[in-house]
Structure 1
Amino acid sequence: MSSSRERPNVLLILTDQQRWDTVGAYGSPMDLTPTLDALARRGTRLENAVTPQPTCGPAKAALQTGKHATETGVWRLSRSIAGERTLAHHFGDAGYDVGFVGSWHIAGTHDAPVPRDRRGGYEDVWIAADVPEFTTSPEEGHLYDESGEPVEFERYRADAFTDFAAEALDALEEPFFLVVSYLEPHDQNDRWTFVAPDGYADRHATNPYVPPDLRGRPGEWYDELPDYYGMCERLDECVARLLSVLDRGGLREDTVVGYTSDHGCHFRTRPGEHKRTCHESAIRVPAILSGPGFDRGRTVERVTSLVDLAPTLLDAAGVPIPDGLHGESLLPVIRGERPDGGGEAFVQISESEIGRAIRTPRWKYAVAAPTENGWRGGNGDPNSDVYLERYLYDLGRDPEESVNLVGRYDYRDVADDLRERLAAHIERVEGHEPDIRRFEDPGYREY
């Protein structure tokens, strides 16, 4: 790496399936994340960060583009982002070196190398696989380099990704934009379980903290939390290593560091899923920003979406924000130029269903298509002309989402207000006006 101080570098660290409440800065009592906690104290923590799509590929596409998943074409797994302009294109056009390490998940090539036209503009460094669940195990495997040749490793996967990222930091010229996309703490698909490094699960096997939304619910959390916590702990150590690389190069003060996850996890306590629902444990994620423009030691309470991350990073680097993004820069709020608080996030759900949701500071309101297939969509369309009310939660009184208020006459005014706001999001993003049926509407139960 060489030094150029005119514009900040940007290092974006992305994890997969990490709950917000695994991080101490968000209230976890497990002391898993001292590095992230220090980063949050120094920088800016987004208290109510929400993924726009609680599924790996669609969420990653939205993060890369600042657009919701239906508008990128990646509204479910195994679809390609080719043709969309990403953060790499925008940073590259502004003179940045751009690099990507790890889990891409938006090329549709599965275990085959990702061709150049499906890499989203990451031209300078590429060490990645489309779906590394198919090319790696937790202890060994391979990614691919810029030429499509395998890059083998035989060590814990998060450690290997960190090694590749350290090499990328050395190879990139300033100013640089580097994404490091870990697979952890996602479960290992071919084992149907979470796999921590040796010895790490043992640290949390006795009386681990059980988040309130999991308590008393059937699911796999009882067996899986020790490994899951061990994976989060190791990720924090990996972040510490990356920060030390920046420190050694004298680049820490000139680098924006972002940390977030594509979605959360509820350990199959909600209908058979780790994610793919509107519930907080699936859609709420950690989101921490540090470095130039962000080192203010503050917490943003406003409900924000990961579609806001792309314009925020571009704004922080002085790169023009393109028209047509669904998100907006958070820098005016962070700098105190706009009031904090309020806000709402629009969420699209695929695969398990075709669903839509809105999350406000107090309320969660969600609807689902009555007959469409969540994987295929209606005739290949990820949208629906008809939705039925499915969930209404009062997050102020019921943060664990234990009591579904949908259809309650005493909450009809609340539901109607949220219904109109959700419909406005659908029209703004997707360009159509669906029929959202109230729970008590005639014809609701015919579906």
Structure 2
Amino acid sequence: MKRRVVVMMTDTQRKDMVSCYGNPEMKTPNLDRLAAEGARFEKAYTCQPVCGPARAALFTGTWPHINNGWSNSMALDARTRTLGPRAQAEGLHTAYIGKWHLDGGDYFGDGICPEGWDPDYWYDMKRYLDELSAEERMASRREETNLIGDGVQEGDTFGHRVADRAVDFLEKHGENDFLLVVSFDEPHDPFLAPQRFIDMHKNTRLPWRKNMTDPLADKPEHQRVWAGSRMEQDREDLDLAYRNFFACNSFADYEIGRVLDAIDQHAPDALVVYTSDHGDMLESHRIINKGPVMYDEITNIPFIVRWPGVIPSGSVSENLISHIDVVPTVLDAIGASEVPKVLHGKSMVPMFGNLSESSSDEIFVEFGRYEIDHDGFGGFQPVRCVRNDRYKLVINLLCTDELYDMQEDPEEMVNLIENPEHVPERDSLHDKLIEWMNETRDPFRGYYWQRRPWRADAPSATWEFTGCTRQREPDTGESRQLDYDTGMPMSEAVRHKRPCF
């Protein structure tokens, strides 16, 4: 049996920007085709709604708060392994083509192929820019390029060149065991697209949402600061015609279609996973872009999986799933000899054969900082979130917390954090959130996450907190860490530490 996997992703593509999720005006026929041939997941979540941290979780299977990738422009910890070397160790030919954003450099990367990926196919945004003249580079970063001269030429774009290399890989290596990652920057700004895609969206408007008028009165202060002048706007006359954004979205779908055609020709039985790193608020709750909020507009991402003979065609799943599960899922799918304990997620493969069975009762999302290179974007905003099938709890450490009933209030307008009718559900989720922070060795954990103004039964603050030490589990080929008290290899990663004060 061949072991062939393709992971494709886009950047800043909301779930409702893929037409099979309910908005046919978006015009994404190739992703619609993928969903028709596989399964569309309605409740898939990113681990952090920012480019770098989202990828840090997606491609390592560990949380940004522990792999050092909790902000843009922060490199992964030296001991953290991505999916590439893990699959390569299992005998797969591994290639990564497209946006990386995990080397700690600027937006474009450093052009250096990291361990575990084929250097002949490595092609990040730095390598793309190196192919361009200074004038072409500047044009590639300006939305106005869509309007200059003959407009954007397909072959000049990053997305097209990424797809070219992906097609070439499949043509030459599709018969072998492989892992191919195809990572588009599109439809992220500057929203460049050939004219035919711009013409396609001359009348497209984002559907009006009630939460665009959210007064934010009972919401965290940083949301009102983020909204700025939008707090005073007359929201009834919003211009929701994001023509170039929607054009670039359809252009990205076109390039994905080229890769899908090559998969169908050269590796038709491959497991294909498609997703996006996060969405864009696009005026919901009076804010734009992405950042320190847990609203579904940026956290609930598109996720489509096709696996012939395993996943029934045309399936739709309401199961909660997370990017944290992608690495263990791929390792399981290729029959890996080991799924290391350092991975925080779990395989979705058992659920693929029976989509009525849920694989997770809760998912978690976090936020630390937008980017260490920038003073702005709200600065340090520590946020931790847990959601189950009905409720979403958000702990904003520096200000007001949030609780939403996602069944009765899907647009997240009514903050129930102080509502006495929801105390049992709220406190249960809170306990699970604290347990998750402890289990995943969140370096920001501590008593202050427990002692919230609304938590009447919160324990007293103590310096020792839980009293546990939580050492790192060994990765493949690593020795166990040594016990501080004995100098001998630890027998248990989590244990109560002897008093030292």
Q: TM-score range by the shorter chain?
A: 0.7 to 0.9
What is the identity, as a one-letter code, of the residue corresponding to 2:412?
A: E
What are the residue-to-residue correspondences of 1:265-276 with 2, within 5 Å?
265-270=280-285, 272-276=287-291
Change (3 A) 1:271 1:84: farther
- After superposition, the CA RMSD in angstroms is 3.0
Following superposition, the deviation at residue 346 of structure 1 comes to 0.7
Following superposition, the deviation at residue 260 of structure 1 comes to 0.2
Give the equivalent residue in structure 1 for 2:353: 335
The 8 Å contact of residues 132 and 183 in structure 1, kept in 2 or not, is answered as no
For structure 2, list consecutive stretches of 5 or more residues without a partner in the other structure: 142-153, 215-229, 370-377, 459-501
Following superposition, the deviation at residue 96 of structure 1 comes to 0.8
Q: How far apart in 2 are the matches of 1:27 and 1:402?
A: 21
Following superposition, the deviation at residue 389 of structure 1 comes to 4.8
What is the identity, as a one-letter code, of the residue corresponding to 1:364?
A: K
Q: How far apart in 2 are the matches of 1:166 and 1:22?
A: 25
Give the equivalent residue in structure 2 for 1:21: 16
The 8 Å contact of residues 50 and 277 in structure 2, kept in 1 or not, is answered as yes
Q: How far apart in 1 are the matches of 2:127 and 2:402?
A: 32
Q: Which has the higher strand share?
A: 1
**Cα deviation code 1:397-432 (max 9, x no counterpart):** 111112222222333332212211211111111254
Q: How far apart in 2 are the matches of 1:24 and 1:333?
A: 25
Q: How far apart in 2 are the matches of 1:26 and 1:112?
A: 32
Matched, 1:84 2:114: no
SS at match of 1:127: coil
What is the identity, as a one-letter code, of the residue corresponding to 1:169?
A: L
Q: How far apart in 2 are the matches of 1:95 and 1:424?
A: 37
Give the equivalent residue in structure 2 for 1:227: 244
What is the identity, as a one-letter code, of the residue corresponding to 2:295?
A: H
Matched, 1:281 2:297: yes
Q: How far apart in 2 are the matches of 1:77 and 1:131?
A: 19
Give the equivalent residue in structure 2 for 1:205: 202
What is the identity, as a one-letter code, of the residue corresponding to 1:15?
A: T
The 8 Å contact of residues 137 and 157 in structure 1, kept in 2 or not, is answered as no
Following superposition, the deviation at residue 200 of structure 1 comes to 2.4
For structure 1, list consecutive stretches of 5 or more residues without a partner in the other structure: 1-5, 142-152, 189-193, 371-387
Q: How far apart in 2 are the matches of 1:211 and 1:344?
A: 29
Q: How far apart in 1 are the matches of 2:326 and 2:51?
A: 16
Following superposition, the deviation at residue 187 of structure 1 comes to 1.9
- TM-score normalised to the size of structure 2? 0.73
The 8 Å contact of residues 349 and 355 in structure 1, kept in 2 or not, is answered as yes
**Cα deviation code 1:110-154 (max 9, x no counterpart):** 2563434xx24213521113698999869648xxxxxxxxxxx96
**Cα deviation code 1:138-182 (max 9, x no counterpart):** 9648xxxxxxxxxxx962332222112222333446211111111
Give the equivalent residue in structure 1 for 2:447: 434
How many correspondences in the alignment?
A: 401
Q: Please say which of residues 235-244 and 332-341 is displaced more in the overlay.
A: 332-341
What are the residue-to-residue correspondences of 1:37-436 with 2, within 5 Å?
37-81=32-76, 82-110=78-106, 111=108, 113-116=110-113, 119-124=114-119, 125-129=121-125, 140=140, 155-172=156-173, 174-188=176-190, 194-206=191-203, 208-210=205-207, 212=209, 215-216=212-213, 218=230, 222=239, 225-249=242-266, 251-252=267-268, 254-270=269-285, 272-276=287-291, 277-292=293-308, 294-297=310-313, 298-319=315-336, 320-336=338-354, 339-340=357-358, 343-351=361-369, 352=378, 353-370=381-398, 389-430=400-441, 432-436=445-449
Give the equivalent residue in structure 1 for 2:374: none
SS at match of 1:126: coil
Change (3 A) 1:104 1:337: closer
Q: How far apart in 2 are the matches of 1:8 and 1:126?
A: 21
Q: Please say which of residues 280-289 and 404-413 is displaced more in the overlay.
A: 404-413
Q: Please say which of residues 18-27 and 194-203 is displaced more in the overlay.
A: 194-203
Following superposition, the deviation at residue 299 of structure 1 comes to 2.4
Q: How far apart in 2 are the matches of 1:87 and 1:36?
A: 24
The 8 Å contact of residues 100 and 109 in structure 2, kept in 1 or not, is answered as no
Q: How far apart in 2 are the matches of 1:21 and 1:13?
A: 18
Q: How far apart in 2 are the matches of 1:138 and 1:310?
A: 36
Q: How far apart in 2 are the matches of 1:348 and 1:429?
A: 12
Change (3 A) 1:294 1:129: farther
**Cα deviation code 1:239-269 (max 9, x no counterpart):** 11112222333x22x2111100111111254
- TM-score normalised to the size of structure 1? 0.81
